[in-house]
Structure 1
């Protein structure tokens, strides 16, 4: 049995040099070009019919627009045919500009590619009719077919590049918008009406509570790693995160506090409405700075720091810590002063209930009740060393 001969691809026919053609062939080419130029309306109508029948994506364009585009398409091919040229850089630039304009009109570039392929097919069908009229040599006819499909493939490649570039540009623009929104919310510079207007565009409910998350990034690579880690912790896409770079700190707007962020110290502020989230972020930054100073790790909140922020504190920081723990005590009504004084004395007496009762002239059970009430209201557990120190510092600072 003789081995099968591999099927060879047909040799691609190149456009000949017009000047190298004999006079009769050159005259035939000129006649074909002249005839084609009279058929631009016929071609435009045929393309319109094909487009409307097979490519619904062109619904964003009018009939007149499609016809005009078909005429321009035909003019390009006929102009190339008139000098027997192949697509060049200038033509690729025209295709790119056309793709950008069409995309701006709302026409998907995948749809534009299909339209060009249909146009190429219809152009060749029309050219075959004209070639038969003027008796164009078969080899030259095949060369025109190859050149036309080369043009169609070139157009497809150009449209694909433009689509890729536009997708990157859109992603970059969307990232900039998300970053600007996050920066405005976290810094407190975005007006309430802007927050209410733009929040829905980023998938946020304006009335819902969110938390500010702060993480330190030492480089662009570190920032990218943090972003991915936060996305994993929140079970969302990294592209959907709302974040802003503030110096070396990355601030995130999160629907909830992450449970863990692998490999990164992460500070979390309180849960607040969007228009108050700057307060949450300010607290998260304070927590991050303090936790970094004390070489802490994992997820950290202000309540986890005990008296540590006092090491870095100024008056503003001290007021924030006082507001966090003592505001509920102040809201307890007439008994708040008694509870506060009992707690202060209790700490001063090294937690000796009987000595406190003697100093205040009350029953020991009253002391125990007031101390328990202090712990309930402030969230400070006096059995924990850090909470005990925080309580002592806050209470004595207020007295002074």
Structure 2
């Protein structure tokens, strides 16, 4: 059985230092550069023929533009060859600017990389012809080939990097447009005519009903988690959601109510046409702030809150009643917190002493004692409906 002998790749030849060349080789390099300059029109003709054949997207560029690009390319190559200089940062920046200019003209940057390689191919082919006439050493010629193709690959990487940068810029611009539209709709500052006109740009139907969502995030990571959960629930890619920041709140415009967002809190407004969605967002904000006050989580609607939104209303009235009834709790000293917390839980548990005792891990008589002390200190009788409502309202306004 014959043993297969692995084939070794040839060693990459590096361009030598110009000062290290012997006299005949240096003279051959100078002669080669001069001959290439004299052959500029030959190169531009060959380059033009190649790109017309292999790069269809260049059809929008005139022959004059392509010849001008070819001449600039040749000038750079000859400058590198004449000094045996390794391509520097300035050349790379020039390629980045060139790529952005071509991208603005609608040229795919993959085609730009192909065009660059075709230019390198035409230049090296011409150099091979000249090398014979000027007796350029073969080792030197191979080093030029290796260096040229190595940088052609680097140029392709530069173009790919620019393509990635442009893609990110487009995504950022699109996100900004979506955010501005969502902010205008949810805050009610965009006229109905403009909303209906711009809606189609974002894939929305003006006649359809949409839902406003509101949420607060403690961190960017939490916000990203909720955004993805909402996107998944409504069947929209996360980067296509209409989402914006309104003050300290994040607002969403979605086509339907998400079923679940995990343990996070997302408040939901009613389904409304786009030009009325600002009213829905106001309801979502009230729902959000109320649900946060009561430490709720999940997807919450206003109808889920019962009388809880009343806790946030009538600040002046609440201040007067607090001063009248709850100020006396301070006289209980450190136990005032226990009295207040136990009474609030007692009301939340529909006055079920056993349930309150279980939750607080105390004896039922302790619950009864604290509730009785609350009534004594505040002069609020929890057997009377009005006093019970006032107690529930004031105690829940004080919770944080």
Superposed CA deviations along residues 189-237 of structure 1, whole A, max 9, x for unmatched, are 1233432343222111222221101122111111111101101111111
SS at match of 1:262: coil
Residue 198 of structure 2 aligns with which residue? 198
Cα deviation, residue 3, structure 1: 5.1
Q: CA RMSD in A?
A: 1.9
Structure 2 residue 46 is the aligned partner of structure 1 residue 46: yes
Residue 260 of structure 1 aligns with which residue? 260
Seen in structure 2, the aligned counterparts of structure 1 residues 314 and 256 have a Cα distance that, compared at 3 Å, is farther
SS at match of 2:11: coil
Scaled by the length of structure 2, the TM-score of the pair is 0.75
Alignment of 1:134-283 (within 5 A): 134-283=134-283
Residue 124 of structure 1 aligns with which residue? 124
> How many residues are paired up?
316
Q: Which moved more, 1:157-166 or 1:18-27?
A: 18-27
Contact 1:218 1:248 in 2 (8 A): no
Alignment of 1:310-325 (within 5 A): 310-314=310-314
Superposed CA deviations along residues 263-288 of structure 1, whole A, max 9, x for unmatched, are 22221111112121111111111111
C-alpha separation in 2, matches of 1:274 and 1:67: 53
Scaled by the length of structure 1, the TM-score of the pair is 0.75
Q: Which moved more, 1:34-43 or 1:306-315?
A: 306-315
Following TM superposition, the consecutive aligned residue runs of length 4 or more in structure 1 with deviations greater than 4 angstroms are: 1-5
Structure 1 segments unaligned to the other structure (5+ residues): 316-388, 390-400
C-alpha separation in 2, matches of 1:60 and 1:188: 45
Residue 37 of structure 2 aligns with which residue? 37
Residue 305 of structure 1 aligns with which residue? 305
Cα deviation, residue 21, structure 1: 2.0
Superposed CA deviations along residues 300-338 of structure 1, whole A, max 9, x for unmatched, are 2222222221121249xxxxxxxxxxxxxxxxxxxxxxx
SS at match of 2:243: strand
C-alpha separation in 2, matches of 1:296 and 1:20: 78
Residue 23 of structure 1 aligns with which residue? 23
Q: Which moved more, 1:190-199 or 1:208-217?
A: 190-199
Cα deviation, residue 23, structure 1: 2.2
C-alpha separation in 1, matches of 2:145 and 2:29: 14
C-alpha separation in 2, matches of 1:17 and 1:265: 67
SS at match of 1:87: coil
Structure 2 segments unaligned to the other structure (5+ residues): 316-388, 390-400
Residue 288 of structure 2 aligns with which residue? 288
SS at match of 2:86: coil
Cα deviation, residue 239, structure 1: 0.3
Cα deviation, residue 82, structure 1: 0.8
